[in-house]
């Protein structure tokens, strides 16, 4: 495979250091015929994306996948430039001048709204904000959540919604030993929340959580999982689907039916899983959320055979003091990068970036992960997605000579980046920060204490370098 002119490596910039970004680099490095150099650029000084900032702190086993990414980072062909933001510190034009190809691995940093009256009342939040807050994400460290109320609603029944509900219901002393932000543990210790109400639009056969997640919820020492028998029961059409469903769907249904038979339980806190209901209005009192009005749903098949919820006109009002919506992640537009405003993704054809949805391909630009396909799948799903895109990139450059361009060198790219941002964080720098976090955690009797602000991380790094 000829990809060089005078032996020059193919220069690739990967924007984002989450799972998709590392899997893309891994895929490029695995092609023995490809002479390549990868610069990974991330807006935060800390790598690993949602593995660090999204995975629940009581799910440490999932975070062990970081070891795989560290192996890729140790490859001399990869450099990390953290604390560098595309669209602010550097531009797409800068990337085009210094790299042959750009891979966007920027994820989906925003969220969908419910678009119901009252959604902007105080006490109404995105679950992504709550997750970022308890995970020490710099974007959300200063967020405020009123945990003085007795009842909180969580809209959605996917794995993120389950995580959020579990964190609210869990014993704070269990969480205190994890890598949860210290300020979040302190707030949860003072929490008055006794009831977490999860609201799902569809029935048990359509639940988006995994069997492991719902079983973990049911095993909490601090709270009972309460399911209404009438909502756990399958309608006739869902029974047909159940007969041919995959093993996880059957496990979910069977578990919820058994949970419904247990009733209220005896523990101090309750997680109430409501099915076949949709929030239609948030009711305020003094400018703050005081209640949510929900409508009972009935399922029916659409033209494609999928079961869809439809309101029945039967309403119920639940008294709450806070509501967290977990109805899907949504991408954020980056200056100079095409963006599909309807879908919240970078428009693409199998990973090749398009100028607009259905438009022409943008030469040398690619996308992976949630920014490519939307917020679907687990961490491992991103590996196949990134490998597919990497294959397209390799295919596009296969057999094509690269121009002898003085700007497309490792030295020129680093000079550019450091001229635009004074405090660049390399992977070696990150390992210093990593050690400092572990040391702070050990002193506090927990796994780690993360840096929750960019300035704190940068200042700690300056001190560590001396």
Write out the chain's pLDDT in tens, 466 residues.
444 434 799 999 999 999 999 999 999 999 988 999 999 999 999 999 999 999 999 999 999 999 999 999 999 999 999 999 999 999 999 999 999 999 999 998 888 899 999 999 999 999 999 999 999 999 999 999 999 999 999 999 998 999 999 999 999 999 999 999 999 999 999 999 999 999 999 999 999 899 999 999 999 999 999 999 999 999 999 999 999 999 999 999 999 999 999 999 999 999 999 999 999 999 999 999 999 999 999 999 998 888 999 999 999 999 999 999 999 888 999 999 999 999 999 999 999 999 999 999 999 999 999 999 988 877 888 999 999 999 999 999 988 889 888 899 999 999 999 999 999 999 999 999 999 999 999 999 999 999 999 999 999 998 887 6
CB atoms within 10 A of CB 176: 18
pTM to 2 decimals?
0.93
- Could you say which of 3.50.50.60, 3.40.50.300, 3.40.50.12280, 3.40.50.970 is the CATH number of the domain covering 113-327? 3.50.50.60
Q: For residue 70, give the 3-state DSSP assignment.
A: helix
Report CA Rg, the chain: 24
The pLDDT, as a whole number, for residue 121 is 98
User: What pLDDT is attached to residue 5?
Assistant: 39
Tell me the CB-side half-sphere exposure of residue 383, using CA atoms within 13 A.
Answer: 7
Q: What is the pLDDT of residue 377?
A: 78
Query: What per-residue confidence (pLDDT) applies to 362?
Result: 97
CB 389 within 8 A of CB 421: no
Q: Where are the domains of the chain?
A: 10-109+330-425, 113-327
Q: Are 157 and 309 in contact (CB under 8 A)?
A: no
CA angle 341, 306, 316 (to 5 degrees): 80
Domain 10-109+330-425 homologous superfamily, CATH: NAD(P)-binding Rossmann-like Domain (3.40.50.720)
pLDDT of 32 reads: 87
CA distance 220 to 192: 18
Residue 20 main-chain phi, psi, to 5 deg: -60, -40
Q: Helices in 138-210 by DSSP H: which ranges?
A: 159-169, 172-175, 182-189
């Amino acid at each position: 495979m000829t990809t060089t002119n005078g032996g020059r490596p193919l220069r690739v910039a990967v924007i984002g250091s989450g799972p998709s970004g590392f899997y893309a680099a891994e895929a490029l490095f695995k092609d023995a015929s490809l002479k390549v150099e990868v610069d990974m650029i991330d807006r935060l000084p800390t790598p690993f994306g949602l593995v660090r900032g999204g995975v629940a702190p009581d799910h440490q086993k999932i975070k062990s996948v970081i070891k795989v990414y560290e192996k890729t980072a140790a490859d001399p062909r990869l450099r990390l430039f953290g604390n560098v933001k595309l669209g602010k510190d550097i531009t797409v034009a800068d990337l085009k001048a210094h790299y042959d190809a750009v891979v966007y691995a920027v994820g989906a940093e925003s969220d969908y709204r419910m678009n119901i009256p009252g959604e902007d009342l105080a006490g109404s939040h995105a679950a992504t904000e709550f997750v970022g807050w308890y995970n020490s994400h710099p974007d959300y460290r200063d967020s405020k959540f009123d945990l003085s109320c007795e009842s909180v609603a969580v809209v959605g029944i996917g794995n993120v919604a389950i995580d959020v509900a579990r964190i609210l219901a869990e014993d704070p002393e269990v969480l205190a030993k994890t890598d949860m932000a210290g300020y979040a543990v302190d707030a949860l210790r003072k929490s008055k929340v006794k009831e977490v109400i999860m609201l799902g639009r569809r029935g048990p056969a359509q639940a988006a959580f995994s069997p492991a997640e719902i079983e973990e919820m049911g095993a909490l020492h601090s709270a009972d999982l309460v399911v209404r028998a009438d909502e756990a029961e399958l309608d006739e059409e869902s029974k047909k689907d159940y007969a041919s469903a995959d093993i996880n769907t059957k496990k979910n249904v069977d578990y919820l039916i058994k949970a419904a038979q247990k009733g209220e339980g005896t523990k101090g806190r309750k997680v109430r899983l409501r099915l076949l209901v949709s929030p239609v209005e948030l009711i305020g009192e003094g400018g703050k959320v005081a209640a949510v009005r929900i409508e009972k749903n009935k399922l029916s098949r659409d033209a494609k055979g999928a079961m869809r919820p439809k309101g029945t006109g039967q309403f119920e009002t639940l008294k709450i003091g806070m509501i967290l919506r977990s109805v899907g992640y949504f991408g954020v537009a980056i200056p100079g990068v095409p963006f599909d405003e309807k879908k919240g993704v970078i428009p693409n054809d199998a990973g090749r970036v398009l100028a607009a949805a259905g438009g022409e391909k943008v030469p040398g630009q690619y996308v992976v992960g949630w920014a490519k396909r939307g917020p679907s799948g687990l961490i491992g799903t991103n590996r196949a997605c990134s490998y597919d895109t990497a294959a397209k990139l390799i295919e596009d450059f296969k057999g094509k000579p690269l121009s002898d361009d003085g700007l497309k060198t490792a030295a020129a790219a680093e000079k550019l980046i450091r001229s635009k941002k004074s405090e660049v964080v390399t992977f070696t720098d990150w390992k210093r920060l990593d050690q400092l976090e572990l040391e702070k955690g050990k002193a506090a009797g927990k796994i780690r204490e993360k840096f929750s602000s960019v300035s704190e991380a940068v200042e700690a790094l300056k001190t560590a370098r001396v």
